[in-house]
Amino acid sequence: MEQEKEMEMEQEKEKELKDSDLRLKKYPIEVLEKYVDNLSIKSLLHWQHLDARFCKKYILNEEYQTAEDYYLVTIEYVLKKQPHLKFDDLIYDV
């Protein structure tokens, strides 16, 4: 299983990840982090399974948000798009 994950990451290194790719499959967090600057927050939230750490570091971080994201992306919006997350996980360092 670990070998498959490494092989997948190697394949992803060869191409640049785009928003349209996010619809096709779920990517490991490590891959998403590598290309986060090329991906929209809305696409990430809508198409990928994100963890609380990723959401705090990138999704809820104003440095990665566009002007539109700033008004749209709230903790409530993240919880709606990522229902497996808990409110406390997004506010506290758990």
Domain boundaries, the chain: 2-91
Long-range contacts (CB closer than 8 Å, 24 or more residues apart) made by 80-83? 81/45, 81/46, 82/45, 82/49, 82/50, 82/55
Give the closest residue to 36 by CA, choosing from 63, 60, 64. 64
Average pLDDT of every residue of the chain: 89
pLDDT, one tens digit per residue, over 43-73 is 999 999 999 999 999 999 999 998 888 888 9
- For 43, counting Cβ atoms within 10 Å of its Cβ (0-12 exposed, 13-18 middle, 19+ buried), the class is middle
Determine the Cα–Cα distance for residues 47 and 57; give it in Å rounded to an integer. Answer: 18
pLDDT, one tens digit per residue, over 22-43 is 999 999 999 999 999 999 999 9
Q: Residue 92: pLDDT band by 50, 70, 90 thresholds?
A: confident
- Is the pLDDT reported for residue 12 higher than 90? no
How far, in whole angstroms, is CA 75 from its chain's centroid?
A: 14
